[in-house]
């Protein structure tokens, strides 16, 4: 029986797993279960980094000596009043439609925060922890209500931050984007591979 990969992905996301497989990175998937509630007054980036660290730490504690990646992707829209709004995963079809309506014809930001953690033996302290984040800009064209509901009815928006998948049915909603495409999907592969090359 072969040895386990030294790298663990603390996520059940099929998109993150596919990105790792496409890059030829051997990994074991062990999903973390953390409370994803936003703390009062918490800035979007602080929120994403906190969740990434909590996910990685939860799994790393149970698997000492192995690098664990936690990641959290958020979609942020600056509202007319200048306040940044995090657009999370919709809990209903109606909420998915509202999120997509909010994104229609506007620019938004997709940030993925990542944390690499390794614990040692029985010590509760990490041998090492590295965090990084990548932000991409995305512009949606103006969407009709019919388009929005046709997409919502496919079911694809329901487990996605921002209620869309750029690699899926929402590809034709995007006028343009700046930055990492894989980051918008769920993992900034260029930066991740650079970090993994340093630590493994």
Active-site positions? 72
| Token representation of residue 58 | 């939860």
| Token representation of residue 109 | 């930001």
CA distance 180 to 170: 17
| Token representation of residue 21 | 């497989």
The CB density around residue 19, as the number of other CB atoms within 10 Å, is 21
CA distance 116 to 98: 34
Q: Could you please report the per-residue DSSP string of 91-135?
A: SSHHHHHHHHHHHTT-EEEEEEEEEEEEE-TT-SSEEEEEEEEEE
Residue 55's Cβ-side half-sphere holds a number of Cα atoms within 13 Å equal to: 28
Could you tell me if 32 and 54 are in contact, meaning their C-beta atoms sit under 8 angstroms apart?
Answer: yes
Q: Is 199 left (phi over 0), alpha (psi -120 to 50) or beta?
A: alpha
| Token representation of residue 99 | 């999120």
């Amino acid at each position: 029986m072969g040895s386990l990969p030294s790298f663990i992905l603390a996520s059940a996301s099929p998109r993150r797993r596919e990105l790792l497989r496409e890059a030829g990175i051997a990994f074991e998937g062990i999903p973390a279960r953390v409370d994803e509630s936003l703390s009062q007054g918490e800035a979007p980036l602080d929120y994403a980094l906190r969740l990434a660290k909590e996910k990685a730490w939860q799994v790393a504690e149970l698997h000492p000596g192995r690098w664990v990646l936690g990641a959290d992707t958020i979609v942020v829209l600056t509202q007319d009043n200048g306040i940044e709004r995090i657009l999370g995963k919709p809990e209903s079809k109606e909420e998915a439609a509202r999120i997509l309506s909010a994104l229609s014809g506007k620019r938004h930001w997709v940030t993925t925060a990542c944390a690499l953690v390794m614990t040692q033996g029985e010590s509760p302290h990490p041998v090492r922890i590295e965090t990084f984040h990548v932000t991409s800009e995305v512009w949606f064209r103006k969407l009709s209500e019919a388009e929005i509901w046709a997409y919502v009815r496919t079911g694809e928006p329901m487990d996605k931050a921002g209620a869309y998948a750029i690699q899926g049915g929402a590809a034709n909603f995007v006028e343009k984007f700046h930055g990492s495409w894989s980051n918008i999907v769920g993992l900034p592969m260029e930066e991740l591979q650079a970090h993994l090359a340093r630590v493994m």
